[in-house]
Structure 1
Amino acid sequence: FLQAHYLVEDDIMDGSVMRRGKPCWYRFPGVTTQCAINDGIILKSWTQIMAWHYFADRPFLKDLLCLFQKVDYATAIGQMYDVTSMCDSNKLDPEVAQPMTTDFAEFTPAIYKRIVKYKTTFYTYLLPLVMGLLVSESAASVEMNLVERVAHLIGEYFQVQDDVMDCFTPPEQLGKVGTDIEDAKCSWLAVTFLGKANAAQVAEFKANYGEKDPAKVAVVKRLYSEANLQAD
């Protein structure tokens, strides 16, 4: 339920078209964006309802509910990092529309890892691992810091793969239309390219990144291919 909540809301935030080979929930006829937002909230509420239903008399219930809250908070922070990654953080102002960055100075490995840690790894990997330990009453027998470290490393590996597939995998295979380039996302491809490109390539990237024009998207993909990023 928690993952479904995040996916429903994420598709709305990103303006996505497809999810797993079907239209995103908010794009279904008769659903509407308003109802989809509320449906996402209902899905999140079900996590605690189900925990109380199945584990009301179990000693780990409090820890489980705290885990849900921790993961929910971390993922919300990650979404904020993700949807503002194409803006300069020192210029964020709630009363002023944010222009896209012009220097891409914040497209760095450290900032990318921060986005991935909070946006992806908490709910995709840390939650199921720790939940399994709690429900099996095995949490006391493991080093939780190590579990968290492993979850974050796996999550980062997963997100790098996801970023590459978003760019290069055909929609019919990917199950969705990749839009990281159009949305000017701080993706692994963008960060890695900027770290190895020469001045002319960087200039061409900046002139075309974050644009909806298919021709400009194609330019960015060509730059990625010429940099042989898929081999990295």
Structure 2
Amino acid sequence: MDSSLTRRGQLCWYQKPGIGLDAINDALLLEACIYRLLKLYCREQPYYMNLIELFLQSSYQTEIGQTLDLITAPQGSVDLARFTEKRYKSIVKYKTAFYSFYLPVAAAMYMAGIDGEKEHANAKKILLEMGEFFQIQENYGQKDAEKVAQVKALYEDLDLPAVFLQYEEDSYSHIMGLIEQYAAPLPQVIFLELVNKIYKRKK
């Protein structure tokens, strides 16, 4: 959608020979497979409908996040007034945090018989903060490697690495506080292992 050439260090699927726009249908097939697999393996389980609803909701939220991203920075049209902290946090929350952080933990909770609204709301508070913290390490506003290098050089000139280090420490402390406050009845180690994977990570 954003004309990226690579994803997670590999050539984007649509860039592969003979794929092109067929990638759209391939993506839809993959999404449909989620529900076929859930039906095949979980249909008789008490958590089946919770998983169906969780995956449907996560897909919807991710699509909302992608839409926000696309309308914030349409190709060939830069409007800096659209680049607000509030909008950025919304994009991160919907496009990345729900499916990358909340979805896997919530699915495990349902499968373990933890289906209370309060427990899921508490886990979500922690995990969405982790998602924001993770994503903010990723973005330079450009995809082109040369432009990313220029942005990084500008960051150095403005001493933004020091600003980021302070943000990183503050965010880590905030997340640790959320874990202390909201993790129960889940073991804190679930959240601690996740946050320690992303804290001070090197790309």
- After superposition, the C-alpha distances for 1:44-95 in whole angstroms (9 at most, x for unaligned) are 00111110000111111111101111111111000001111126xxxxxxxx
Q: CA deviation at 1:25?
A: 1.0
Ranked by relative contact order (alpha carbons within 8 Å, sequence separation 6 or more), the top structure is 1
Establish whether residue 146 from structure 1 lines up as the match of residue 107 from structure 2. no
Aligned-residue CA RMSD (Å) = 2.3
Q: Which residue of 1 aligns with 2:67?
A: 80
Where structure 2 has 5 or more consecutive residues not aligned to the other structure, the ranges are: 165-203
Alpha-carbon distance change, 117 to 217 in structure 1, aligned in 2, over 3 angstroms: closer
| Separation of aligned partners in 2, 1:27 and 1:228 | 37
Q: CA deviation at 1:137?
A: 1.3
Q: CA deviation at 1:223?
A: 2.0
| Separation of aligned partners in 2, 1:226 and 1:29 | 41
Aligned positions, number: 163
Establish whether residue 224 from structure 1 lines up as the match of residue 155 from structure 2. yes
Pick from 29, 44, 56 the counterpart of residue 17 of structure 2.
29
Establish whether residue 19 from structure 1 lines up as the match of residue 2 from structure 2. no
Where structure 1 has 5 or more consecutive residues not aligned to the other structure, the ranges are: 1-12, 88-96, 168-179, 183-211
Return the letter of the residue paired with 2:142.
Answer: I
| Separation of aligned partners in 2, 1:213 and 1:133 | 40
TM norm structure 2: 0.72
Show the 5 A alignment for 1:89-104.
99-101=77-79, 104=80
- After superposition, the C-alpha distances for 1:135-190 in whole angstroms (9 at most, x for unaligned) are 11122396221111111101001101122xxx5xxxxxxxxxxxx325xxxxxxxx
| Separation of aligned partners in 2, 1:98 and 1:36 | 23
Q: Which residue of 2 aligns with 1:109?
A: 85
Identity %: 35
Q: Which residue of 2 aligns with 1:181?
A: 142
Q: CA deviation at 1:219?
A: 4.6
| Separation of aligned partners in 2, 1:129 and 1:222 | 37
Establish whether residue 137 from structure 1 lines up as the match of residue 113 from structure 2. yes
| Separation of aligned partners in 1, 2:60 and 2:45 | 24
| Separation of aligned partners in 2, 1:19 and 1:125 | 19
TM norm structure 1: 0.64
Q: CA deviation at 1:99?
A: 3.2
Establish whether residue 124 from structure 1 lines up as the match of residue 100 from structure 2. yes
Alpha-carbon distance change, 114 to 33 in structure 1, aligned in 2, over 3 angstroms: same
**Could you say what secondary structure the match of 1:15 adopts?**
coil
| Separation of aligned partners in 1, 2:41 and 2:114 | 18
Alpha-carbon distance change, 218 to 21 in structure 1, aligned in 2, over 3 angstroms: closer
